[in-house]
Amino acid sequence: MDLKSLTLLNMVLFVPAFNLVRVTDSDLTWSQMGLVAAAMLIAEVALAVPLWWVLRIRHVPARTASVMILTSVIFNSGNFGIPLAERAFGVAGGAVQALILMTANVSVWVLGYLLLTAAHRPFHHALGEVVRTPVFLALIAALGLKAFNVRLPETLHYPLSTIALGLVPLALVTLGAQLAMRQGKPNWRLVGPVVATKLIGLPLVMTGVVFALGLWPWPGGMLIVASSAPSAVNALLLAVELDGDSEVAADAILWTTLLCSITVTFTLAVVRMAGGVPPP
């Protein structure tokens, strides 16, 4: 299957429609939305800084260390995260996941270009590309409508809602196409730490951040579950574009996706038993 076409459909049509509908229909307050973004950024930085220090001590090449950090701390919010949120927590989970998606997309490009030194073009060009994407524009429109308490007319809300409902199956097909791209034995000396950090370390750090910011039980429960998702494919796209270690990125995405069937199930079960669910 053509991964480029599937990804393009996700990013220019289905994900923007999903963001617009889920955010405008959500009951999240402005303080909750701000804390969701803040919690993600705090957790990412809290994990990225010591990880970078350890990799420097071990003399891991910069192009490899950068990729290891990206695949360890950035949330997989689209092809994996949205289906997970919708199936686990329904529409309320999707609303939180829409904000997680936008924060993750911005942070992966900002952090990615910082780590990979923006070898091919200036850093501000990368930021310019992010703010022109349909995903970003749709979220800005949704926040604007929510700020002025304006509801989409039914002639727009119904077709956009229908498109948003199609995101979950399309995202899962796209995820399968991504997994089919990589075969062969990985370098476990490099991929092993990424798997452990992404699937175990990040959820533990996010749990601490959630309780520190007073986000438990909701939307903190969704944040913890979202943090347990596998490595994001955007890390591979950046590695290819900026001459990072694309083999490590591809292996990290594959193996975290396969092994997260265990860790995500465990994390979701614990969060739900502890009461981290949307309010009735």
Average pLDDT, the chain: 87
User: What band does 265 get if pLDDT is binned at 50, 70 and 90?
Assistant: very high
**Which domains, and CATH codes, for the chain?**
3-273 (1.20.1530)
How far apart (Å, rounded) are the C-alpha atoms in residues 25 and 20?
8
If we measure between CA atoms, which residue out of 159, 106, 100, 170 comes closest to residue 133? 106
Q: What is the pLDDT of residue 241?
A: 63
If we measure between CA atoms, which residue out of 256, 95, 70 comes closest to residue 164? 95
Q: What is the pLDDT of residues 96-153, one digit of tens each?
A: 998 898 788 777 767 776 676 544 456 566 667 667 778 788 888 988 998 898 989 9
Q: What is the pTM of this model?
A: 0.83
How far apart (Å, rounded) are the C-alpha atoms in residues 19 and 102?
9
- The answer, yes or no, to whether the previous bond of 217 is cis (omega within 30 of 0) is yes
Long-range residue pairs from 126-135, CB within 8 A, at least 24 positions apart, any chain? 130/105, 130/106, 133/11, 133/105, 134/11, 134/12, 134/13, 134/15, 134/16, 135/11, 135/15, 135/16, 135/19, 135/101, 135/102, 135/105
